[in-house]
Amino acid sequence: MKSSDIHTTISILTEAVKEWKTPAVSIVSQREGNPFKVLISCILSLRTRDQVTGEASARLFTLADTPAKMGELSPEILAETIYPVGFYRNKSVQIIEICRLLTEKYNGDVPDTIDELLSFKGVGRKTANLVVTLGFGSPGICVDIHVHRISNRLGYVSTRTPEETEYALRDKLPKKYWLGINDLMVTFGQNLCAPVSPRCSICPLHLLCNRVGVGKSR
């Protein structure tokens, strides 16, 4: 895929994803505009389906909607509230620890830099970038498995890990696309460009995609 094709690719994806549901964490950011809720939703979303993430986030924020209130919950109550998200018991402990740190060290405010967010136990680059981009509207590129897979499948980058993909995209992707790239590729990956047997026969990007690593497709 030629670098110049990225403009056409983004334009096509922007139209295509209108047919599908927006990722759960993005819905939270659009509805709430709250970095804390974006952070917590991101943590819940790891290894969890979007529908489960959305429902669990809603239950939890009804119960406690600030770091101070959430940090006072017991791990058992929090785990029961967010079940059945993936690793819900571990996440309940992690969330309480983060909330207590936010309350004690940051006066209840979520830090707005990737480096500072990465200092929180259990917060990786994907979550940190999502909080910065969706919570604060600041430049960042959130690379999850969908962004990593599709960027490589298109032939736009050639990387081995999501972290390598993030840095490659920071060097190559025009900055005006940084904030939206995650939503576009996650939605596209969840609905059409599957990890195994992607639906290439009806893909609107079939003329631009190099189909790197694609064996069987539909």
- Give catalytic residue positions: 126, 144
User: Three-state SS string across the chain, please?
Assistant: CCHHHHHHHHHHHHHHHHHCCCCHHHHHHHHHCCHHHHHHHHHHHCCCCHHHHHHHHHHHHHHCCCHHHHHCCCHHHHHHHHCCCCCHHHHHHHHHHHHHHHHHHHCCCCCCCHHHHCCCCCCCHHHHHHHHHHHHCCCCCCCCHHHHHHHHHHCCCCCCCHHHHHHHHHHHCCHHHHHHHHHHHHHHHHHCCCCCCCCHHHCCCCCCCCCCCCCCCC
